Structure 1
């Protein structure tokens, strides 16, 4: 049975749009990676010029490394575990806690610490769930990357 011309046109438009979205996604990921590397280099330069390293400097560089790792993983595999942003959030909250040490109320310290604990528990639950109930790749990427069938 032959496909109708409208269906071929629709499929052609979908494939072209998907390729366009993939190019935009790739460009965005490259831009994020370059911007993160640049920000990390500026922070490293600032630390070198100051001649001393603080814990907040190290946490900021750790945040940059996590963003780079997340970006690289997404570029390589086309997927990103949810736990990566959770790691970034935990490091960010820890950095905020250290930066504001002594300047904030006890309630802020307690809530920030509770936030870090909730995120850590979330990561543990996600890791357990991924190990116990592995998911199959069902996002449709392999279907989109399949070569087009030859016309008969």
Structure 2
């Protein structure tokens, strides 16, 4: 077995482990929501992050590459969840920094989509 094959097998194994852990974490979160008998926005955002991780893994398996926008969407969702978890008691300057980070990531997604459209026009 050559080195490239060993690396490919290791990579696929880790991706399967990540997928399994993501599903387990999602099931734990669902059990916690059922136990608390209450669904909050932070729970939904966390489940959305789990779904995005699974989507990223599915995209990798189908195209053998990860579209850059998926991790960016995950980052925006994670920052949004962080803002919600901090609540009103947090330092307002931290809220500004986190909101600014979300804005920068959103701008990066927009720029990437525009560049992709240009590439598609040039190829098409």
TM > 0.5 fold call: yes
* 1:56 and 1:95 in contact (8 A); partners too: yes
Q: Equivalent residue of 1:102, what SS? A: helix
Counterpart residue number, 1:22: 8
Query: For residues 19-40 of structure 1, what are the alpha-carbon distances to aligned partners after superposition, in whole Å with 9 as ceiling and x for unaligned?
Result: 1111011101100000000000
The SS at the match of 1:53 is coil
Instruction: Say which structure is richer in helix.
Output: 2
Number of residue pairs matched? 120
- Structure number with larger C-alpha Rg: 1
2-side partners of 1:16 and 1:33: how far apart?
Answer: 26
CA distance, structure 2, for counterparts of residue 52 and residue 17 of structure 1: 50
Alignment of 1:50 with 2:36, yes or no, is yes
Tell me the TM-score normalized by structure 2: 0.93
Structure 2, unaligned runs of 5 or more:
none
Give the conservation status (yes or no) of the 8 Å contact 1:29–1:75.
no
